[in-house]
Amino acid sequence: MESNRKLSTKEKALKINLDQRVYGSFAEIGAGQEVAANFFKAGGASGTVAKTMSAYDMAFSDAIYGEAGRYVCEERLIRMLDKEYSLLGKRLKFREHNTSFFAFADTVETTNYQRTNKGHGWMGLRFQVNPEREPNECVIHFLLNDSEANWQQRAIGIIGVNLMYASLYLIDSLDELVKSLLDGIVPGTIEIDMIRFTGKDVEHIDNRLLSLKLVKNGLSNAAMFGPDGHALQPSEALYKKNAMVLSGRFRPFTKVNEDMLDKALLLFKQDSEVDENNLLIITELTLNALVDTNGLIDEQDFLDRVDILCSLGHTVMITNFLDYYFLVPFINNLTRGKKVGYVLGIRNIERIFKPELYEEFHGGMLEAFSKMFGKNVKAFAYPHINENNNNLVNLENLEIDQSRKALLRYLIDNNKLEDITNPDHSLLNIHSDLVLKMIKQNDEGWENHVPIKVAEAIKVNCLFDFPCEPISIKKQ
C-alpha cells in the first residue's frame, strides 16, 4: 500500500533535489514566483538549483528576454527557456559530462485586485534525460480558477513541481504522467488545456493522445491540435477568429460530412461579419463519441479518426461536452466577439427541440437556447431524406411540437438558424453506420461514400477493421 501512495509536493521536490544528475535554473515572471520556493523549502536545493530569478517588472523582463506584445504567452516562455538553457551551457560547461541540465520557466497572470481578468499561465521545462544528450521540452498552458490570487500562487508552485517530476521520471507512463500533474491540487482549481512534449527522448509520446488524456482525466474540458497534429492552446488558436464547427463521430468521415461542412461554409462566408482569411474550421469529437461497446476508449481508433481529419486539413477539438449548449458558448467565448457558425443535421435540430434535454437548467429550454444561439452565433441545418415517403426534411417542414414552432420560427426569422438549401441530393442516403459495416466487410462500392483521401487512408492503414495488411506503419 505504501508503494502506491502519491508523493507530496515536498517529497517530489526533495527527490529531485537529491538526484545528483539533475541541475539547472528557474526563471519565473509575472505572478509565477512560487515553484523554486518549493525546492528550497524541501531541503537539499544546492544539489539542484544553479540559479533562480524573477523579473516582475515589464521593463526588466524586456531587458532580459526582449520586448514582447504580450507577457503571458508561449512566445515569451520559449524565449525564457532559450535564454536560461543557453546560459547553463556557457557557465557550467565543466559539468556537462556528468550532469543532466534543465531550465524551468513560467510566465503567469493571476487574478488582479479588481477581479477583472482571468488567471492563466504558460509553464515549460527544457531538460536532458542523460548528460550530453540533446534536451527535450515540455510546455503546458493552464487556467487558474481559484478566486483569490494567493490560492492561485500556491497552486502554481505545486503544478510546477509536478511538471518537473513528471517530465523527469514519468515519461514512459503517459496515464500516470497526466494524472500526476494535478497531485496535491484541489479538483477544479486548475485546468490544463494544452501539453506538448518534443525531443528525441520523448519521440514515443504522441501529443494527440496526451490531449485526449487531459480531457479524459478531467484536467480540461477541451483540447485542440492542428492539421499537423501539433497541440494547440484553445484560447490562442481561436483568439479573435471566426470559427465553423462540425461535431460528429467521424467513424468514418463521409461525403455527407464533407458536404455539410462545405455548404455551411459557403453560407457562413456570405455574412459581412465573417472574414474568410481569419476563419478556423473545427471538427469536434466528444468523449462519448469515442467510447466503444465496452465503455472504453480505444486510443488507436481515436488516432485513426484524427489522422483522417488532419489529412483533410481540419483542426480537431476533443471535448467532454455532452451537447451544443456547452460547446457553442465555450468556443464563442474564446473568439472574443467574432462570429461562430456550426452545422447540424436536421435530426439533431429535431432533438434539441425536446425540453427533456434541459431539465438541469433552471431556465429550461430557453436558457439552453440562449447559449446555443447567443450573440455572434449562427447554426446551419442540413436536411435529410424521410425514409418513409422519400421527401426532403428541412426547417420548413420539420415536425416538432406545436408549442415550440414559434421558437423555431423566431430563430429562423432572426438569422440565428438557416437551412442549407442546396445539399448534394446524391449523398443524402449515406449513413455512417452502414458505411462502417461496408468497410469492415470490404463490400463493393464503399469507397464511393467517403472522400478520396479517406478511402486511401483506410486502405493503406487498414482503419476501422478494414480487412487488409497495413502498407504503412501506424503511429504508436
Average pLDDT over residues 179-204: 95
Over 60: is that where the pLDDT of 189 sits? yes
Pick the residue with more confidence: 468 or 88? 88
- Taking only the tens place, the pLDDT of each residue in 210-250 is 999 999 999 999 999 999 989 999 999 999 999 999 999 99
CB 278 within 8 A of CB 461: no
Residue 476's pLDDT band (cuts 50, 70, 90): very low
Pairs from 385-394 (Cβ < 8 Å, separation ≥ 24): 385/428, 385/429, 392/425, 392/428, 393/346, 394/346, 394/419, 394/421
Using DSSP's 3-state secondary structure scheme, residue 445 falls into coil
Over 70: is that where the pLDDT of 1 sits? no
Can you read off the three cell numbers belonging to residue 241? 477568429
Residue 285's beta-bridge partner residues? 318
* pLDDT at site 2: 43
Average pLDDT over residues 333-341: 95
Over 90: is that where the pLDDT of 289 sits? no
Least confident range of 122-131, 443-452, 457-466: 457-466
CB 55 within 8 A of CB 61: yes
CA atoms within 13 A on the CB side of 428: 21
* pLDDT at site 471: 63
- Taking only the tens place, the pLDDT of each residue in 28-52 is 998 767 999 999 999 999 999 999 9
CB 299 within 8 A of CB 285: no
Task: State how far the Cα of 74 lies from the Cα of 54, in Å rounded to an integer.
Answer: 17
Least confident range of 15-24, 28-37, 272-281: 28-37
- Taking only the tens place, the pLDDT of each residue in 358-402 is 999 999 999 999 999 999 999 999 999 988 788 899 999 999 999
Residue 112's pLDDT band (cuts 50, 70, 90): confident
Share of the chain above pLDDT 90, in %: 81
Which residues are CB-neighbours of 206 under 8 A, at least 6 positions away? 303, 475, 476
* pLDDT at site 294: 82
DSSP string, 70-84: -SSSHHHHHHHHHHH
* pLDDT at site 265: 97
Q: Which of 378, 354, 404 is nearest to 267 (CA)?
A: 378
Residue 67's pLDDT band (cuts 50, 70, 90): confident
Task: State how far the Cα of 48 lies from the Cα of 101, in Å rounded to an integer.
Answer: 9
Number of other residues whose CB lies within 10 A of the CB of residue 429: 13
- Domains assigned to the chain: 2-205 (3.90.950.20), 237-427 (3.40.50)
* pLDDT at site 475: 42
Distance of CA 286 to the CA centre of its chain: 11
Which residues are CB-neighbours of 194 under 8 A, at least 6 positions away? 139, 140, 141, 211, 223, 224, 231, 232, 233, 234
Pick the residue with more confidence: 11 or 390? 11
Average pLDDT across the chain, whole number: 92
Residue 291's pLDDT band (cuts 50, 70, 90): confident
- Taking only the tens place, the pLDDT of each residue in 298-322 is 898 898 899 899 989 999 999 999 8
Distance of CA 201 to the CA centre of its chain: 23
CA atoms within 13 A on the CB side of 356: 3
CA atoms within 13 A on the CB side of 10: 3
